[in-house]
Structure 1
Amino acid sequence: MLDFGGSGPQLLLLHGLGGSAEGWREFAGFLTGTHHVLAVDLRAELPWSWDIALADIEALGLDNPAVLGMSFGGMIAGRWAARHPECPAAISIDGHRGGLTAPANYPGLAPARVDAELAELRAVFEAQARTPFLATVFDAFLADDTIDAFAKARCPTLVLLATRNIQEARDFDELMAAGRRGVERDLLAAAAANPNLTVTKVDGTHGMVTTRPAAIAAVVRQFLPPSAPWSEAAGRT
């Protein structure tokens, strides 16, 4: 675990798939003025499951930190929010729904086209799954719908949604845009039913932590409690 220092309540950062705790260094610097910022290297070997990922965080023995994750780490943060009402805050930076889910999650595109493009996208990811660990995580990460967890958030929870595609996904621009529409539709419905959940759109891509670190950190600081932990009933709308 990396300790980036700072004063105030603890804030634990969870990286994206294939990342590391070290990758948070620049972003963490924008948060140490108000929080004691820590980052952990997520498990990168078998056995692995969402439950194991959560147990790994619990085993760190931290002092009830706020939890912030990006992408894959944000999906873990969503599950944390559903299980830990005592958590001061949980934040997901564009981590919500895997990229290979049902055609109904891609509004505006014909189901047959969605199926065809998802098959192409799956082939791209499978080519990258060069280890048993990656194969296992990809299966969960790509087909999972963490929106169900956000709908059950029991602590103040913020989801930041990207509004633009990353350049690397240009071959699937329309599919990715449709996927974002579906995520926004379903997360806003979840937020309407759960006062603990806040959904905010951000002018940026999935890589917003890298491309706009100061701006994203400012949004995070505004949401995080400055000192005393929040109660479950103190969720934001």
Structure 2
Amino acid sequence: MAQLELVAVPTPTGQPLDGLLYQPSGEVRGAVMLFHGNAMNFYVGASRFLPPSLLDLGFTCLAYNRRAHGTLATRNSRAPEGNAIATVAQSIEDNELARNFLHDRGLPAPALIGHSNGGMLAVRHAADHPDTPALVLLSAHRGGKSMIERGSRTGLLAGDRFDELSAEARRLVAAGRGDELMLFPGWWHVMTARVFCDQLDNLPDIIELAPRIRCPVLYLLGSQEPAELYPLQEFAQRCAGPVDTAVIADCDHFYNGVDTQVTATVTEWLDSVMPARPGRAGPPCR
């Protein structure tokens, strides 16, 4: 019987990365890290519905919260944490800490599965770790310095008040008030001025990173998603390694009602590009 273990990966700020480690009952074929999307967590979306099928293939799976989980939350005090106050640098660091956790368990370099913002971060992680055996991008957004303005034009984030709210966030940061919360007309509705400026300035750009990605990639989109935000073809053209693409019909950004089809697409692809059988998982990640 497969084993499920609640884990807490320590971080320098004292906010652990809570998660669930799924361990197959037999020999381990490989490892998978699952990167959740903005304001999500390890027990919703793809981080929840994919691991049981990946277990059946012999993969140990780590689904975990970054410090940028949820929107605003508390833990064992009244100190806030979550997506509204976490930085891009912390998210990049969190993925390194999760990889180190798997290494310390003696597991091989993990395949990466990232949804939305987690997909963008997975591209950055794969670029930093050439031993990544496979990369699955589930509606990975483009990132980069234009992403927040592009997203706002579609009604997210600052909406039609992008210029106004960007200027206000810059003003608050310059005045030493960067930790003040700001309200936004679109999803994800609230964040500090400092985090909004951080999102404007520091998101990894998956198009710029694509030439550094040499492992096999699956880039999956829903048919209802705007190409401006999710550059499937542009990434595939610039990627150094082989890229397979899939567009799921009648599918929104969160895969509502089509999780079975998404699961089949992802598991069949991983099974084809990571053919090592149980007992041949390779050396631990470094």
TM-score when normalising by structure 1: 0.69
The question of whether the paired residues in 2 share the 8 Å contact of 1:14 and 1:39 is answered with yes
Which structure shows the higher helix fraction?
A: 1
Asked if 1:15 is matched to 2:36, the reply is yes
Asked if 1:199 is matched to 2:260, the reply is no
Partner of 1:57: 98
* Closer, same or farther: CA 220–144 of 1 in aligned 2, 3 Å: same
1:69 deviates by 0.9
User: Does the residue aligned with 2:55 lie in a helix, a strand or coil?
Assistant: coil
1:199 deviates by 3.0
Q: State the distance in 2 between where 1:119 and 1:150 align.
A: 28
The question of whether the paired residues in 2 share the 8 Å contact of 1:89 and 1:157 is answered with yes
- Any unmatched runs of 5+ in structure 2? 1-18, 69-80, 163-183
* Closer, same or farther: CA 212–119 of 1 in aligned 2, 3 Å: closer
* Closer, same or farther: CA 229–85 of 1 in aligned 2, 3 Å: farther
Among 193, 208, 213, the alignment partner of 1:148 is: 208
Asked if 1:164 is matched to 2:224, the reply is yes
User: Does the residue aligned with 1:139 lie in a helix, a strand or coil?
Assistant: helix
Amino acid in the other structure paired with 2:215:
C
User: Does the residue aligned with 2:62 lie in a helix, a strand or coil?
Assistant: strand
1:132 deviates by 5.8
Among 129, 139, 151, the alignment partner of 2:190 is: 129
Partner of 1:3: 21
User: Does the residue aligned with 1:32 lie in a helix, a strand or coil?
Assistant: helix
Deviations 1:139-196, CA, capped at 9 Å, x for gaps: 358x65322223320322221122214xxxxxxxxxxx3516x7244123224xx233
Partner of 1:120: 160
Partner of 2:113: 68
User: Does the residue aligned with 2:67 lie in a helix, a strand or coil?
Assistant: coil
| Aligned pairs (5 A) from 1:89-108 | 89-98=134-143, 101=146
Partner of 1:41: 65
Range with bigger deviation, 35-44 or 119-128: 119-128
| Aligned pairs (5 A) from 1:151-230 | 151-165=211-225, 177=226, 179=228, 183-191=231-239, 194-203=240-249, 204-208=251-255, 210-224=256-270, 225-227=274-276
Q: CA RMSD in A?
A: 3.5
TM-score when normalising by structure 2: 0.59
The question of whether the paired residues in 2 share the 8 Å contact of 1:3 and 1:37 is answered with yes
The percentage of counterpart residues that share the same residue type is 22
1:216 deviates by 1.1
- Any unmatched runs of 5+ in structure 1? 107-113, 166-176, 231-237
Among 28, 36, 41, the alignment partner of 2:51 is: 28
The question of whether the paired residues in 2 share the 8 Å contact of 1:27 and 1:214 is answered with no
The question of whether the paired residues in 2 share the 8 Å contact of 1:82 and 1:155 is answered with no
* Closer, same or farther: CA 11–221 of 1 in aligned 2, 3 Å: same
Amino acid in the other structure paired with 1:128:
H
Deviations 1:46-77, CA, capped at 9 Å, x for gaps: 45416434433333243211111101111111
Q: State the distance in 2 between where 1:2 and 1:190 align.
A: 34
Q: State the distance in 1 between where 2:260 and 2:154 align.
A: 38
User: Does the residue aligned with 2:264 lie in a helix, a strand or coil?
Assistant: helix
User: Does the residue aligned with 2:228 lie in a helix, a strand or coil?
Assistant: helix
